[in-house]
Amino acid sequence: MGFKKLITSKKILSLFAAFMLLGTNLLMAQSTGTAATADASASKDDMWIGVAYYALLLLLVCVVVAIIGKILKVYDLTLQLQGKKGMNWNNIIGIICIIFLIVGLYGAYWSLTVQGSMILPESASEHGVKIDFMFWTTTIITLIVFFLTQVLLFGFAFKYRGSDKRKGYYYPHNNTIEKIWTVIPAIVLTILVVFGFFTWRTVTNTQQVKGDINIDITGHQFAWELRYPGKDGKLGAVNYSLYYTASNQLGVDFKDRNSFDDLRVDTMVLPVNRSIRLNIHAQDVIHSVYMPHFRVQMNAVPGLPTYFKFTPTITTTEMRNKLDDPKFEYLVLCNKICGGGHYNMQKVVRVVTETEYQAWLSKQKPYLTDQLRKELKFADAGQQKSGAQNRLVLNN
C-alpha cells in the first residue's frame, strides 16, 4: 500500500481520531485537575505539547510502516526483474498473524497481572460477595472465550495461509456450525443476564426495617454532606424549597420534630454487621454515591431521593490488617462527572465496632445549631414554633 493510500485509508483515519479523542480526554482531565491552581495556563501548554507529541508519534509510526512496505515492494520487484521467484507474501502475512497473536496474548497477560493486581480488595459488605461472584464468573467465561477465539482466529490464519501447494476449499454454508455458534453464546449470555438480574434483585429488593441505621447523604457541587438521626433513630424530613440557606444547607424541615436531634457529621462512621440505609439526595446536578469497597453505587438525583441498603462486614482496622496497609481508608466517592471539582468529591468511611460507634455518635454535634435556633426564633417560641413560620423566617 502506497503512503498516500495509507494515510487516506479509513482505518488509519479512525485510528488517528481515536488518538485525538485520547488527547481530548487528557485535556479535560488536566484542565479539571488544575482548575483551581494559579499555574493553570502553564499546564495547559504542557497538555497541548502532550497532544501534539502523540499526534506526531502516530504520524511517525505510519511513515515507518509505509517505508518498510515500500522497501519490501522494491525488493520484491528487484527479485522478479532478476528472474527469481518474488517474496512469499502469504508466509509474511501468516507470520505477522502469529506475531500479533503472541504479542496480543502477552499484552492481555500483562494487563491481567499488572493492572489486575490493582483490583479492589475483597468485598467489605454482605451483598458485595454476590456481586463479586457474578463478576468473577463473567470474567472467567469471557477469558476462556477470548483465549480460544484469538488462538483459533490467528492460528488458522497462519496454518491455512495461501500456498501454491493447495487450493482453498470452497465451503459456503453449514447449518450445524451455524446452530452451534448461535445457540451456545445465546445460552451463556442468557444465563449471565438472568444471573445478573436475580443478583441485582436480591441486592436492591429491600425494605426498611426496624434497626436500620438511616443516614442521609446529600451531594452538591462539590461535596457530600451527611446527616445522622439522633436518639430517636429517625431523620427529620427535608424540603427542597429550604435548600441553600447558610445555616440550613440541607434544607431540613423543622416542622418535623424528628429533625430536632439530627446530627451533622463529617466522616461516615458505620457499625460493623448492622444494616445501613443510605438515603441519597442531590441538590444541583446528578451525582452518584460510590463506595467501591462495599460494592455500593446509586445515583443521587435532584428532586428524586434514592436509597441503598447494605451491611458492612469488615471493620477499617481489620481491612488495614488484611491489606497490610496501616493508612487504608474506605471512601465514598462521586461516580458521575458532575463538574470541575468532581474528582475531589470524596469522604472517608470508617467501619467500627458497635461500642466504638456509640462512643463516636455521642460526640457528634446537632444539626440544629444555636445560630439556626436563632434564625428559626426557637428561643422566643420554644419548640412549639409552627413550620409555616419557620419557612417564612428562612425565606426572608
Minimum CB distance to Cu ion smaller for 334 or for 372: 334
Of residues 12, 278, 338, 372, which one binds Cu ion by CB under 5 A?
338
SS3 47: helix
Minimum CB distance to Cu ion smaller for 259 or for 335: 335
Please state the closest distance from residue 31 (CB atom) to Cu ion, in A. 17
Please state the closest distance from residue 230 (CB atom) to Cu ion, in A. 28
Binding mask 76-105 for Cu ion (x = CB under 5 A): ------------------------------
Minimum CB distance to Cu ion smaller for 12 or for 334: 334
Binding mask 244-283 for Cu ion (x = CB under 5 A): ----------------------------------------
Minimum CB distance to Cu ion smaller for 69 or for 341: 341
Pick the closest to residue 338 from 278, 279, 288 (CA basis).
Answer: 288
Rounded Cα distance, 298 and 306, in Å: 8
Let me know how long the chain is: 396
Please state the closest distance from residue 301 (CB atom) to Cu ion, in A. 12
Please state the closest distance from residue 220 (CB atom) to Cu ion, in A. 8
Piece in contact with Cu ion (CB under 5 A), picked from 9-17, 116-124, 180-188, 286-294: 286-294
Of residues 263, 296, 345, 352, which one binds Cu ion by CB under 5 A?
345
Contact between 215 and 140 under an 8 Å Cβ cutoff? The reply is no
Minimum CB distance to Cu ion smaller for 215 or for 376: 215
Please state the closest distance from residue 140 (CB atom) to Cu ion, in A. 34
HEC profile for the chain?
A: CCHHHHHHCHHHHHHHHHHHHHHHHHHHHHHHHCCCCCCHHHHHHHHHHHHHHHHHHHHHHHHHHHHHHHHHHHHHHHHHHCCCCCCCHHHHHHHHHHHHHHHHHHHHHHHHHHHHHHCCCCCCECCHHHHHHHHHHHHHHHHHHHHHHHHHHHHHHHHCCCCCCCCCCCCCCCHHHHHHHHHHHHHHHHHHHHHHHHHHHHHHCCCCCCCCEEEEEEEECCEEEEEECCCCCCCCCECHHHCCCCCCCCCECCCCHHHHHCEEECCEEEECCCCEEEEEEECCCCEEEEEHHHCEEEEEEECECEEEEECECCCHHHHHHHHCCCCCCEEEEECCCCCCCHHHCEEEEEEECHHHHHHHHHCCCECCCHHHHHHCCHHHHHHHCCHHHHHHHHHC
Please state the closest distance from residue 221 (CB atom) to Cu ion, in A. 7
Piece in contact with Cu ion (CB under 5 A), picked from 9-17, 23-31, 161-169, 340-348: 340-348
Please state the closest distance from residue 219 (CB atom) to Cu ion, in A. 5
| Size, binding site for Cu ion by CB under 5 A | 4
Minimum CB distance to Cu ion smaller for 138 or for 306: 306
Minimum CB distance to Cu ion smaller for 127 or for 287: 287
**DSSP state string for 295-312:** TEEEEEBBTB-EEEEE-B
289 binds Cu ion (CB under 5 A): no
**Helix/strand/coil percent split, the chain, to 5:** 55, 15, 30
Minimum CB distance to Cu ion smaller for 54 or for 243: 243
Please state the closest distance from residue 348 (CB atom) to Cu ion, in A. 17
DSSP-H helix ranges across 82-117: 89-110
Of residues 287, 309, 373, 385, which one binds Cu ion by CB under 5 A?
287
Please state the closest distance from residue 143 (CB atom) to Cu ion, in A. 33
Minimum CB distance to Cu ion smaller for 198 or for 240: 240
Please state the closest distance from residue 193 (CB atom) to Cu ion, in A. 30
Binding mask 295-334 for Cu ion (x = CB under 5 A): ---------------------------------------x
Minimum CB distance to Cu ion smaller for 314 or for 345: 345
Catalog residues that contact Cu ion under the rule CB under 5 A: 287, 334, 338, 345
